[in-house]
Structure 1
């Protein structure tokens, strides 16, 4: 049974854990607990050896058939054939190994979040111990800047604020308290707990260790990551099924052909077995896995130029079928940099331009009713929020502006730098630090030999203090209405006030704020949406892709930010508590119909992704915090932020955005659609080679003819066409209107009825044409060497010309884009060079049993290629006209 420590008082926790807050555990007791519970570290994941990964590349039914063919050819003594077949399978395995060998680093990334040391009370004394030596029941002392070393139930807090965005998605530091909470309090609202891997932004505190290692909230996320299975992409699922179908078909046909040839045609068993192996080699597209890997790798390179780092090759293609993007808010759709967007003083209203911590922007007057002293009051306001401030604004080594301390304090430092006013220098005399109990910060400061008290905090508390001033003309109802207005649009509101005091004042207490405060105004603060994210959301919606915001932030803030981004209606949102109460069926309905989810836990995010997948969506999940990692790994496409994302998130994701730009996801989707279209064109191009080869061998057996090509020659044709000419199609431009069509159905067949017809049509065209020419050449008295070489070149030339047919599915080959793909012409030239090499180089003549051809003999292959090109173009024109009539 899991204990709800946040729902227990301190005395009960001490009894449950047999510890004392004032003295802590004894060293002996801590050691005993370490032996029982283990060390405060996460378990290592057993890694698969490189050898096992490499051997796994052979786990494919098509490869099994090829390896069986290699064994049989070796038994028959055809060792050159055996060697070539084995080399082809090994080359394919190396390509797959190097492309897919992405090391799983998620556990190491989480380990980096754990604290290395901790300050504890043991044996009644304060001492420092290694973080891994913490035991349940230890009393941990926290100070500003510390990393929380384990899950703690807080028992003492002094202005303690903890930065939890990496774990919960909370955009601001959380004020901690020690009060007992309700038993159904969600993770994000457990303000009496401090969690392993988070950091102390301000203040200090004391807590009892309630969980270590794998049992912490961080450890649960780690466990969720290891338990989440990597889903196979739609393309790989289709290719896998496609390969199994081909293998079963080829083996079945081969067996039938052997039986027919042996019993009907009376072929010798050895010769027939070699012919059947030739059939298997001809019909199996052994070059397809290699060329698909290369096409995907080209997509990876193109995406890298557009700031998207692809960690898993098939992810490029999967992007093309994404139908929903689930995005974290903080740091993904927003900048994760609190920004003052407006200031309303008692004299005027101002809008503030610029977003983030970079001090670029202006404070612009937007109120025509300003009073004469407006500039002076604005200066007082800016001085107040600078003095009541514990943050530090700086540029890091990459010249990016960042803050040390509380994000709310940090954004006021940026606000001050945006002003063209000269703010006075000051000396702090005394201070009341911010505390969530009284919700304000007050500072006694000296400016130009005069002393002032400045107050910054929650508007309702500032209103209350100002209203006590007997001579104040403060209109509280007006300012409460203005505060509510700002809150309704998702802004956090901060109020400011000040008063002048005697120059001899040395101490500051809460009672000093009871009278005489002058109200200065309020400021509205948001974590601003990224401008490019708004554009990206709009583009996604046009492309038929739903966008859902799943955040740890508050519902009102999430709804307001969502509305600005175009996600949801600004009125509807479900919280993590709502989701926890839902059955799986109810959750599936909610996942489909709701677009904004707030106060969500890591488990909520994971459930939402699973629900969307169950109802048929191809799901992408973006995020930057540890709390997103499990959902990122489960999603069909996990997208991590590269700049602000944690290492855990990056290593759990399949794509990392190097620029943290949501717009890059749109580019990635467009690239995914281009890659998938080009893969289909490539398959449309490659398979007729295999089909024609199979038809040629089957017809030869049926007709009792000598095999026109040997297994090694067939293998050459399959591989050389795959890894040269077919690559030209990988560089075709994105189809016009690709981002205006809905996502493709992942259940749709890889080959449409028309593609199946085209493959069969071209296979028959090349196969029967070659068979006829084979008979013609035999009748003309050609012997084996020149005869087989001409047939070999016919096969290759037919495919070379067919390449240009495939660049457009139904359009005319010679269109306006004919010369835009220079790579198509380059690979065609490479193929010609290779074919000249196999024809005229002596060592290749020996391996492939070819002979040099005369110039006249080259005319036959070239005419064959031209004939295929012209006939297919005619077929395309007829098909296009038929399709056009049907759609009218």
Structure 2
């Protein structure tokens, strides 16, 4: 891959380096040899993972491995029902994971779709159209308005060429192109003598020499960096993975110990003992947990979709709750990506303009904020006429949205003219000088009221030189320009010159002097109105917001201040980052909130620096240039309306409405989901603990097993997919968005959670063991197994209402807020009656249709658990308050 800085070389040097001739082009033999050397002008194909591999990947979990081993053992022991149920549980978990998983990485395909299909090249000394894949370095390429650029090209001839590069560079306006060499440290957004693969010609024509193709192009480098970017594992996945490994070790050690102890001390028959140990293993494994976590995350995804945020990966939902910093692109994310004239300045007045975007709704106001009568303001009327006349764009309405055809800056001038209280005429141009970056102005010769005039529009500094200005007037205009620039506005100047009636042609000499300056316009890419409030909410929630943009630093800083992102005049440019060490970038990223003129590499560099500093980062963006950083960030957030497919496919979240404030709602949802996930774990694990305690006690005491493996699996799954599901609907607790983000390294099970799980496990297991061995000692094992199963289920049913409020009294004024808790409770009771009294179901689970009076024991166990846990919560809460 070439690292040559073609933009710093002269055209002659480029020709020499590539052994080509701009006047003759390559011949077919040379093109074929170059194609063999450099390959086709396309991006490399990514390897596709077979669907069966994706499905099998769902079983790559230590806890599932143990279940699968247990199923093999039960099969050889002849317990085929047990085998079938164990396998069914494992397969159900695998199917849920497979269905919810992100099907494939499509980001590379999205980039490929941006490339041009055809290209006009000059070969064998004549023009010919070829497939873009056939273009090679050294080819001479013709470019016209609307063309998608097929490769990276060094321009040698331009005619009013403007290129739309926002998907690649983040620039909000079309870029004017020229042919002169540039300095070696020129950032990509300022390489005005180059055009890049995947961008589009918005106006004009050009010729150029292809310098890079395929993977060597700027878009190819993004493609390569994306393939090299390592996907970040979410905090929840890290924690559950570690939890699974820890519990697996504990289970295996306990199983080996109990097998050995029971075999030696109680002289069990080895097959029966092995089945009992499998019962212990199955009891201790929270096999229902992966399914319920997946379902809760999926419900969180649905909730976010209702709020205009589409999550593309399930675990990313909870990651949102831990986000500490949002790195946001400016154009189209914090701003509307719609150029708007904000102010008009004439020689003695300043006007403000209301309305945003290209919609011709709004007013031109005087300094007292009263609508202006344009007929009474001659300078203003003439400026508006010039703005509408010397213009190549037009605006139109499409699907209730106003859009621009042509250059966005010229489009907003049309909108400005339409906001006048009178019709502003676009005069016929009898002669014109198109805009050229060398001259920085555009000229039109017109006739108005039997007078011949030249209207001129261009860069202020250029028109100041051409106008009739004394020193005071020059100072006035320069001061006005400086004021607008500091506010982040892009300033254009307008002038007029009367010429003789017989004048029919205009050239540069006609406008070199004696221009009358009509005034200036200040143009902005307006911030989204709702973003200011969203950023304020982020600050209260302890979330930093950083602007990382390809735009100029003055514009970036002005917008950042207006939005409340930056409070100081600190801006760092991409070229400064390029020369810094990793340690320097890590220090800088904590101090600076605005980064301007950044390259794709800079964005990735900043995200990595934040992550190395311990931040959980979200990166918003809409362009191809954002894709590597979007993929590397903990949460990539793409814009749904104006975002490219590449950006969407590289992200975890897509904003349907391109509204930055939607991110805040998503963070709220992420925090709610995470809290509810922890409550779910606090709810489910005591069931496994109680079951394991009962089985272990039976092995140690040498008594009959209180539950079979099938019954244990049933309890685990039925409590997980019914009553545990109710916790997914618990509302956001008050004050959640006033707390700082949780530490991403926060342990899934805090010391209090571990105590609570052990306490409830012993409480449930101990009470059931006391009832079985004391009150029900004369009953058959089928009775005891049935009562034990129902006692476990009812204990969890009542425990659900303990867990809904982690540390406070559960019977409060929010007790009835979660209707789902009561709905699933009724459902669970109905299921328990069915599996007890429907013969087929009872036979599968090995249950006995117990008498009505025996239901009293499960209900008493459940009530006892609820009351005792509420007392524990009250005492614990008081003790913690005293410590504080």
TM tier, smaller: over 0.9
Offset from partner CA, 1:440-483 (integer Å, 9 cap, x none): 11111234554321111111112222227xxx898111111111
Partner of 1:420: 421
Partner of 2:867: 870
- 1:154 equivalent to 2:143? Answer no
2:102–2:312 contact (8 Å) kept in structure 1: no
Partner of 2:731: 733
SS of the aligned residue for 1:290 comes to helix
Aligned partners of 2:425 and 2:570: how far apart in 1? 46
- 1:381 equivalent to 2:383? Answer yes
1:568–1:596 contact (8 Å) kept in structure 2: yes
Partner of 2:877: 880
Q: 2:833 aligns with which of 818, 827, 836?
A: 836
Aligned partners of 1:503 and 1:395: how far apart in 2? 39
1:467–1:474 contact (8 Å) kept in structure 2: no
Aligned partners of 2:745 and 2:578: how far apart in 1? 31
Q: 2:793 aligns with which of 792, 796, 817?
A: 796
* Aligned residue runs from structure 1 range 130-141, under 5 A: 130-141=131-142
Offset from partner CA, 1:219-277 (integer Å, 9 cap, x none): 11011111111111001100000011111111110010001100122111111111110
Report the more deviating stretch, 235-244 or 337-346. 337-346
How far apart are 1:408 and its partner, in Å?
Answer: 0.8
* Aligned residue runs from structure 1 range 298-697, under 5 A: 298-366=299-367, 374-396=376-398, 398-447=399-448, 450-467=451-468, 475-697=473-695
2:618–2:633 contact (8 Å) kept in structure 1: yes
SS of the aligned residue for 1:467 comes to coil
Aligned partners of 2:61 and 2:471: how far apart in 1? 82
Offset from partner CA, 1:623-658 (integer Å, 9 cap, x none): 001100000000000000000000100000010000
* Aligned residue runs from structure 1 range 261-280, under 5 A: 261-280=262-281
Aligned partners of 1:425 and 1:659: how far apart in 2? 35
Aligned partners of 2:863 and 2:466: how far apart in 1? 91
- 1:234 equivalent to 2:235? Answer yes
1:347–1:374 contact (8 Å) kept in structure 2: no
SS of the aligned residue for 2:304 comes to helix
How far apart are 1:372 and its partner, in Å?
Answer: 10
Aligned partners of 1:461 and 1:492: how far apart in 2? 15
Instruction: Identify if the C-alpha distance between structure 1 residues 338 and 372 changes in structure 2 by more than 3 Å, giving closer, same or farther.
Output: closer
1:340–1:524 contact (8 Å) kept in structure 2: yes
1:102–1:311 contact (8 Å) kept in structure 2: no
Aligned partners of 1:603 and 1:581: how far apart in 2? 12
Where do 5+ consecutive residues of structure 2 fail to align? none
Count, aligned residues: 882
TM-score of the aligned structures, taking structure 1 as reference length: 0.97
Aligned partners of 2:446 and 2:119: how far apart in 1? 35
Aligned partners of 1:626 and 1:138: how far apart in 2? 25
Aligned partners of 1:570 and 1:814: how far apart in 2? 50
How far apart are 1:385 and its partner, in Å?
Answer: 0.5
Aligned partners of 2:144 and 2:79: how far apart in 1? 76
How far apart are 1:733 and its partner, in Å?
Answer: 0.4
Give the superposed CA RMSD. Answer: 1.6
Aligned partners of 1:859 and 1:448: how far apart in 2? 102
How far apart are 1:704 and its partner, in Å?
Answer: 1.1
Offset from partner CA, 1:67-101 (integer Å, 9 cap, x none): 11111111111110000000000000000000013
How far apart are 1:778 and its partner, in Å?
Answer: 4.4
- 1:821 equivalent to 2:818? Answer yes
Aligned partners of 1:588 and 1:629: how far apart in 2? 21
Aligned partners of 1:449 and 1:645: how far apart in 2? 50
Partner of 2:121: 120
Offset from partner CA, 1:390-446 (integer Å, 9 cap, x none): 1121122x3211112111101111111222222124222111111111111111123
Offset from partner CA, 1:359-385 (integer Å, 9 cap, x none): 222211116999997522221111111
1:145–1:200 contact (8 Å) kept in structure 2: yes
Report the more deviating stretch, 728-737 or 8-17. 8-17
Aligned partners of 2:303 and 2:359: how far apart in 1? 31
How far apart are 1:107 and its partner, in Å?
Answer: 1.5
1:466–1:474 contact (8 Å) kept in structure 2: no
SS of the aligned residue for 1:548 comes to strand
Partner of 2:200: 199
* Aligned residue runs from structure 1 range 158-237, under 5 A: 158-237=159-238
TM-score of the aligned structures, taking structure 2 as reference length: 0.98
Where do 5+ consecutive residues of structure 1 fail to align? none
1:732–1:807 contact (8 Å) kept in structure 2: yes
1:348–1:371 contact (8 Å) kept in structure 2: no
How far apart are 1:515 and its partner, in Å?
Answer: 4.4
1:681–1:809 contact (8 Å) kept in structure 2: yes
Offset from partner CA, 1:295-352 (integer Å, 9 cap, x none): 0001001000110011011111000000011111111111111111111122421111
2:433–2:443 contact (8 Å) kept in structure 1: yes
Q: 1:861 aligns with which of 858, 862, 874?
A: 858
SS of the aligned residue for 1:728 comes to helix
How far apart are 1:283 and its partner, in Å?
Answer: 0.5
Aligned partners of 1:452 and 1:463: how far apart in 2? 19
Aligned partners of 2:164 and 2:863: how far apart in 1? 69
Partner of 1:767: 765
Report the more deviating stretch, 446-455 or 379-388. 446-455
1:474–1:519 contact (8 Å) kept in structure 2: no
How far apart are 1:542 and its partner, in Å?
Answer: 0.8
